[in-house]
Structure 1
Protein backbone atom coordinates (compact mmCIF):
# COMPACT_ATOMS: atom_id res chain seq x y z
CA UNK A 1 0.00 0.00 0.00
CA UNK A 2 2.88 2.34 0.80
CA UNK A 3 4.27 2.04 -2.74
CA UNK A 4 0.86 2.99 -4.17
CA UNK A 5 0.85 6.23 -2.19
CA UNK A 6 4.46 6.96 -3.17
CA UNK A 7 3.67 6.27 -6.85
CA UNK A 8 0.63 8.56 -6.68
CA UNK A 9 2.79 11.30 -5.13
CA UNK A 10 5.43 10.94 -7.86
CA UNK A 11 2.78 11.31 -10.56
CA UNK A 12 1.15 14.27 -8.82
CA UNK A 13 4.43 16.11 -8.22
CA UNK A 14 5.30 15.71 -11.91
CA UNK A 15 1.90 16.82 -13.17
CA UNK A 16 1.12 13.43 -14.69
CA UNK A 17 -2.35 11.89 -14.74
CA UNK A 18 -2.86 8.97 -12.38
CA UNK A 19 -3.55 5.99 -14.65
CA UNK A 20 -3.50 2.29 -13.87
CA UNK A 21 -0.50 1.60 -16.13
CA UNK A 22 1.58 4.43 -14.64
CA UNK A 23 0.81 3.38 -11.08
CA UNK A 24 1.57 -0.27 -11.81
CA UNK A 25 4.80 0.53 -13.63
CA UNK A 26 6.08 2.85 -10.90
CA UNK A 27 5.39 0.20 -8.28
CA UNK A 28 7.32 -2.35 -10.37
CA UNK A 29 10.30 0.01 -10.61
CA UNK A 30 10.19 0.83 -6.90
CA UNK A 31 10.31 -2.88 -6.10
CA UNK A 32 13.22 -3.68 -8.40
CA UNK A 33 16.90 -3.73 -7.44
CA UNK A 34 18.02 -3.52 -11.07
CA UNK A 35 17.13 -1.82 -14.35
CA UNK A 36 14.20 -3.32 -16.25
CA UNK A 37 13.63 -4.10 -19.91
CA UNK A 38 10.26 -3.66 -21.58
CA UNK A 39 9.91 -7.46 -21.47
CA UNK A 40 10.52 -7.41 -17.70
CA UNK A 41 7.85 -4.76 -17.28
CA UNK A 42 5.35 -6.68 -19.44
CA UNK A 43 5.88 -9.84 -17.35
CA UNK A 44 5.36 -7.99 -14.06
CA UNK A 45 2.26 -6.03 -15.06
CA UNK A 46 -0.88 -7.36 -13.40
CA UNK A 47 -3.10 -6.18 -16.23
CA UNK A 48 -2.59 -6.47 -19.97
CA UNK A 49 -1.32 -3.40 -21.86
CA UNK A 50 0.05 -3.07 -25.37
CA UNK A 51 3.67 -2.07 -25.95
CA UNK A 52 2.71 1.35 -27.30
CA UNK A 53 1.07 2.20 -23.96
CA UNK A 54 4.11 0.92 -22.05
CA UNK A 55 6.52 2.96 -24.19
CA UNK A 56 4.35 6.08 -23.81
CA UNK A 57 4.46 5.69 -20.03
CA UNK A 58 8.24 5.13 -20.13
CA UNK A 59 8.71 8.25 -22.29
CA UNK A 60 6.61 10.41 -19.98
CA UNK A 61 8.54 9.09 -16.96
CA UNK A 62 11.86 9.82 -18.65
CA UNK A 63 10.80 13.30 -19.80
CA UNK A 64 9.85 14.12 -16.22
CA UNK A 65 13.07 12.81 -14.64
CA UNK A 66 11.40 9.82 -12.99
CA UNK A 67 13.33 7.18 -14.96
CA UNK A 68 16.55 7.03 -16.94
CA UNK A 69 17.78 4.64 -19.63
CA UNK A 70 20.83 2.45 -19.54
CA UNK A 71 22.06 -0.10 -22.09
CA UNK A 72 21.97 -3.81 -21.36
CA UNK A 73 24.62 -6.34 -22.49
CA UNK A 74 22.88 -6.70 -25.88
CA UNK A 75 22.70 -2.98 -26.60
CA UNK A 76 18.97 -2.79 -25.80
CA UNK A 77 17.63 -0.24 -23.35
CA UNK A 78 16.69 -0.90 -19.76
CA UNK A 79 15.06 1.60 -17.46
CA UNK A 80 15.74 2.45 -13.83
CA UNK A 81 14.03 4.75 -11.41
CA UNK A 82 15.96 7.94 -10.71
CA UNK A 83 17.15 8.71 -7.23
CA UNK A 84 15.43 11.38 -5.17
CA UNK A 85 18.37 13.69 -5.88
CA UNK A 86 17.57 13.77 -9.61
CA UNK A 87 15.79 17.10 -10.14
CA UNK A 88 12.55 17.21 -12.10
CA UNK A 89 12.87 17.62 -15.88
CA UNK A 90 16.71 17.49 -15.74
CA UNK A 91 18.39 14.11 -15.58
CA UNK A 92 21.44 14.03 -13.38
CA UNK A 93 22.31 10.49 -14.36
CA UNK A 94 25.90 10.90 -13.25
CA UNK A 95 26.47 7.48 -11.79
CA UNK A 96 27.93 4.24 -13.05
CA UNK A 97 26.01 1.23 -14.26
CA UNK A 98 27.12 -2.33 -13.59
CA UNK A 99 26.20 -5.23 -15.88
CA UNK A 100 26.49 -8.67 -14.33
CA UNK A 101 28.03 -11.18 -16.73
CA UNK A 102 26.25 -14.07 -15.00
CA UNK A 103 22.62 -12.94 -14.54
CA UNK A 104 22.73 -10.19 -17.23
CA UNK A 105 21.07 -7.66 -14.91
CA UNK A 106 21.99 -3.97 -15.02
CA UNK A 107 22.41 -2.17 -11.69
CA UNK A 108 22.66 1.54 -10.96
CA UNK A 109 25.62 2.30 -8.70
CA UNK A 110 24.46 5.64 -7.30
CA UNK A 111 27.58 6.08 -5.16
CA UNK A 112 29.97 5.61 -8.09
CA UNK A 113 30.08 9.02 -9.76
CA UNK A 114 31.22 9.70 -13.28
CA UNK A 115 34.26 12.01 -13.31
CA UNK A 116 33.83 15.50 -14.77
CA UNK A 117 34.95 15.63 -18.38
CA UNK A 118 36.35 18.80 -19.91
CA UNK A 119 36.00 18.96 -23.68
CA UNK A 120 37.83 21.18 -26.13
CA UNK A 121 36.05 24.28 -27.37
CA UNK A 122 33.49 23.52 -30.05
CA UNK A 123 32.31 20.20 -28.61
CA UNK A 124 28.97 19.87 -26.87
CA UNK A 125 28.55 16.98 -24.43
CA UNK A 126 25.06 15.45 -24.44
CA UNK A 127 25.59 12.25 -22.50
CA UNK A 128 28.18 9.98 -20.95
CA UNK A 129 27.86 6.23 -20.54
CA UNK A 130 29.90 4.80 -17.71
CA UNK A 131 29.27 1.05 -17.65
CA UNK A 132 31.24 -1.62 -15.86
CA UNK A 133 30.98 -5.37 -16.36
CA UNK A 134 31.63 -8.13 -13.84
CA UNK A 135 29.76 -10.39 -11.43
CA UNK A 136 27.15 -8.92 -9.05
CA UNK A 137 27.01 -9.58 -5.30
CA UNK A 138 24.13 -12.04 -5.55
CA UNK A 139 25.76 -14.15 -8.29
CA UNK A 140 29.00 -14.30 -6.29
CA UNK A 141 27.08 -15.86 -3.38
CA UNK A 142 25.67 -18.65 -5.57
Structure 2
Protein backbone atom coordinates (compact mmCIF):
# COMPACT_ATOMS: atom_id res chain seq x y z
CA UNK A 1 0.00 0.00 0.00
CA UNK A 2 1.51 3.27 -1.12
CA UNK A 3 1.19 6.35 1.02
CA UNK A 4 -0.06 9.49 -0.62
CA UNK A 5 1.55 12.85 -0.06
CA UNK A 6 -1.32 13.89 2.21
CA UNK A 7 -0.95 10.88 4.51
CA UNK A 8 2.82 11.42 4.63
CA UNK A 9 2.22 15.00 5.73
CA UNK A 10 -0.26 13.88 8.39
CA UNK A 11 2.22 11.31 9.74
CA UNK A 12 4.98 13.92 9.78
CA UNK A 13 2.76 16.38 11.66
CA UNK A 14 1.91 13.70 14.24
CA UNK A 15 5.59 12.94 14.75
CA UNK A 16 6.44 16.64 15.04
CA UNK A 17 3.68 17.17 17.61
CA UNK A 18 5.02 14.36 19.82
CA UNK A 19 8.43 15.99 20.25
CA UNK A 20 8.88 18.17 23.31
CA UNK A 21 9.36 21.85 22.55
CA UNK A 22 11.43 23.84 25.04
CA UNK A 23 11.74 27.45 24.08
CA UNK A 24 13.01 28.44 27.53
CA UNK A 25 16.79 28.02 27.39
CA UNK A 26 16.98 27.67 31.18
CA UNK A 27 15.09 24.36 30.94
CA UNK A 28 17.30 22.86 28.26
CA UNK A 29 20.26 20.93 29.66
CA UNK A 30 23.08 22.02 27.36
CA UNK A 31 26.45 20.28 27.39
CA UNK A 32 29.31 22.47 28.58
CA UNK A 33 30.83 22.47 25.10
CA UNK A 34 27.58 23.82 23.63
CA UNK A 35 27.48 26.53 26.30
CA UNK A 36 31.08 27.43 25.42
CA UNK A 37 30.26 27.54 21.71
CA UNK A 38 27.18 29.71 22.20
CA UNK A 39 29.00 32.16 24.47
CA UNK A 40 31.86 32.29 21.95
CA UNK A 41 29.41 33.41 19.28
CA UNK A 42 27.74 35.92 21.59
CA UNK A 43 31.09 37.35 22.64
CA UNK A 44 32.01 37.69 18.97
CA UNK A 45 28.90 39.75 18.33
CA UNK A 46 29.63 41.89 21.41
CA UNK A 47 33.18 42.47 20.22
CA UNK A 48 32.09 43.42 16.72
CA UNK A 49 29.30 45.80 17.70
CA UNK A 50 30.54 47.23 21.01
CA UNK A 51 34.20 46.51 21.76
CA UNK A 52 35.70 47.39 18.38
CA UNK A 53 34.05 50.83 18.23
CA UNK A 54 34.92 51.42 21.89
CA UNK A 55 38.57 50.45 21.44
CA UNK A 56 38.76 52.52 18.25
CA UNK A 57 37.56 55.59 20.13
CA UNK A 58 39.99 54.87 22.96
CA UNK A 59 42.85 54.54 20.47
CA UNK A 60 41.82 57.80 18.81
CA UNK A 61 41.63 59.62 22.14
CA UNK A 62 44.94 58.25 23.32
CA UNK A 63 46.74 59.43 20.18
CA UNK A 64 44.89 62.71 19.64
CA UNK A 65 47.02 64.93 21.88
CA UNK A 66 48.63 64.94 25.29
CA UNK A 67 45.69 66.43 27.19
CA UNK A 68 43.23 63.94 25.69
CA UNK A 69 45.59 61.12 26.65
CA UNK A 70 45.90 62.42 30.22
CA UNK A 71 42.12 62.78 30.54
CA UNK A 72 41.63 59.24 29.25
CA UNK A 73 44.35 57.95 31.57
CA UNK A 74 42.73 59.63 34.57
CA UNK A 75 39.26 58.34 33.69
CA UNK A 76 40.55 54.78 33.29
CA UNK A 77 42.60 54.89 36.51
CA UNK A 78 39.68 55.89 38.70
CA UNK A 79 36.94 53.38 39.38
CA UNK A 80 33.93 54.51 37.38
CA UNK A 81 31.24 53.04 35.21
CA UNK A 82 33.33 53.87 32.14
CA UNK A 83 36.44 52.08 33.40
CA UNK A 84 34.36 49.06 34.45
CA UNK A 85 32.78 48.99 30.97
CA UNK A 86 36.23 49.06 29.33
CA UNK A 87 37.52 46.29 31.58
CA UNK A 88 34.44 44.12 30.97
CA UNK A 89 34.84 44.65 27.22
CA UNK A 90 38.47 43.60 27.46
CA UNK A 91 37.56 40.51 29.49
CA UNK A 92 34.95 39.52 26.91
CA UNK A 93 37.61 39.92 24.22
CA UNK A 94 39.96 37.74 26.28
CA UNK A 95 37.25 35.05 26.64
CA UNK A 96 36.63 35.14 22.90
CA UNK A 97 40.35 34.69 22.21
CA UNK A 98 40.63 31.74 24.61
CA UNK A 99 37.58 29.95 23.24
CA UNK A 100 38.72 30.71 19.69
CA UNK A 101 42.07 29.05 20.39
CA UNK A 102 40.16 26.09 21.85
CA UNK A 103 38.08 25.79 18.67
CA UNK A 104 41.17 26.09 16.46
CA UNK A 105 42.96 23.35 18.41
CA UNK A 106 39.90 21.13 18.07
CA UNK A 107 39.60 21.84 14.33
CA UNK A 108 43.24 21.63 13.24
CA UNK A 109 44.77 19.12 15.65
CA UNK A 110 41.63 17.06 16.39
CA UNK A 111 42.28 17.28 20.13
CA UNK A 112 39.19 17.14 22.30
CA UNK A 113 36.70 16.19 19.63
CA UNK A 114 34.98 13.60 21.79
CA UNK A 115 32.17 14.59 24.10
CA UNK A 116 34.34 14.24 27.21
CA UNK A 117 37.30 15.96 25.55
CA UNK A 118 35.21 18.94 24.55
CA UNK A 119 33.68 19.04 28.03
CA UNK A 120 37.08 19.11 29.72
CA UNK A 121 38.53 21.64 27.27
CA UNK A 122 35.59 24.00 27.78
CA UNK A 123 35.93 23.66 31.57
CA UNK A 124 39.67 24.31 31.24
CA UNK A 125 39.08 27.46 29.18
CA UNK A 126 36.45 28.69 31.62
CA UNK A 127 38.76 28.13 34.61
CA UNK A 128 41.71 29.84 32.88
CA UNK A 129 39.50 32.78 31.91
CA UNK A 130 38.06 33.11 35.42
CA UNK A 131 41.47 32.96 37.11
CA UNK A 132 43.08 35.40 34.68
CA UNK A 133 40.10 37.77 34.90
CA UNK A 134 40.15 37.76 38.70
CA UNK A 135 43.90 38.33 38.74
CA UNK A 136 43.58 41.21 36.26
CA UNK A 137 40.80 42.87 38.24
CA UNK A 138 42.77 42.34 41.45
CA UNK A 139 45.88 43.83 39.86
CA UNK A 140 44.01 46.87 38.60
CA UNK A 141 41.89 47.70 41.62
CA UNK A 142 43.88 46.36 44.59
TM range (shorter): under 0.3
Larger Rg: 2
Normalised TM-score (structure 2) = 0.25
Q: In proportion to residue count, which structure has more strand?
A: 1
Q: Between the two structures, name the one with larger relative contact order (CA 8 Å, sep ≥ 6).
A: 2
